[in-house]
Amino acid sequence: MATETEENYIKAIFKITEKNQGTANTNAVAQHLNTSPASVTDMLKRLSEKEYFHYEKYKGVYLTTKGIKLATNLVRKHRLWEVFLVDKLKFQWDEVHDIAEQLEHVDSDELITRLDTFLGNPKYDPHGDPIPNADGKFTLRSQTSLMNLQKGETGIVVGVRNHDTPFLQYLNKICVNLGTKISVVNNIDFDHSKEVSIDDENRVILSQKACVNIYVKKTND
């Protein structure tokens, strides 16, 4: 069994390689885990001996099948716990990450199987991120950034790109959540911000940065 620290390294590598064409380098891992590059080098050597990933000096790492399996399962556990915290315990979506970060390391397959059933086998977490099934398969979804919606077009919010508390709290304040309907009223070319209508009720100006971080599914209405 991997220690909690080892699990966090492997998950970090998984997250980084997801974006960064398949490999994770030392500094990226260090930044992600808030440790020193020296500590990371040390750990990469030890963990690659346990066959979680391939490591070549100065070249970074990439996960093995074993490593991907472990990382995917961690993501599954993390997201299921987030669903529990929001759906059952009524936490806000900006409050659950740190707690799930701990809960994901609890070791019991039976627990996760039962939790999944208890929650009704959810496919997405409170941030709209897909929950892999027990075999590690993600349910993908067609989505686009709010940035890509033209004037007059409408979408339903299905996810967020940025998960930071201030951003999520800002969305709370302007009543944007998963399922919220957003229509683009005007594109403001000057700074690429958008005037949008939220659930046909409020009018708000969203900055380019905000738009980029909101995922929607286009609708014909």
Partner DNA sequence: TCACATTTTTAGACTAATCTAAATTATAAT
Partner DNA sequence: ATTATAATTTAGATTAGTCTAAAAATGTGA
Binding footprint of its own copies on the chain (CB under 8 A): 85, 88-91, 95, 98-99, 102-103, 106-108, 110-111, 114-115, 118
Q: How many CB atoms lie within 10 A of CB 194?
A: 22
**87: amino acid identity, one letter:** D
Please count the CA atoms within 13 angstroms of the CA of 26 that sit on its side-chain side.
15
Closest to Mn ion by CB, 71 vs 184, is 71
Judged by DSSP in three states, 59 sits in coil
Shortest CB 104 distance to DNA, Å: 15
Tokens of 214: 């909101």
**Rounded Cα gap, residues 65 and 44, in angstroms:** 16
Residue closest to Mn ion (Cβ): 127
Closest to DNA by CB, 49 vs 221, is 49
Among the residue ranges 2-10, 13-21, 101-109, 115-123, the one whose residues contact DNA (CB under 7 A): 2-10
Asked if residue 54 lies in contact with residue 61, where contact means CB atoms within 8 angstroms, the answer is yes
Q: Which helix (H) or strand (E) holds 85?
A: none
**Rounded Cα gap, residues 81 and 78, in angstroms:** 5
Chain positions 8 to 67 lying near Mn ion, rule: CB under 5 A, are: 8
First to last CA, the chain: 51
Could you say which of DNA, Mn ion, its own copies, none residue 5 binds, taking C-beta under 5 to 8 angstroms by partner kind? DNA
Q: Map residues 25-44 to x or -, x wherever contact with DNA holds by CB under 7 A.
A: xxxx-----xxxxxxxxxxx
Closest to its own copies by CB, 103 vs 198, is 103
Shortest CB 37 distance to DNA, Å: 4
Binding of DNA by 19 (CB under 7 A): no
Which residues of this protein are in contact with DNA, per CB under 7 A? 3-6, 25-28, 34-46, 55, 57-60
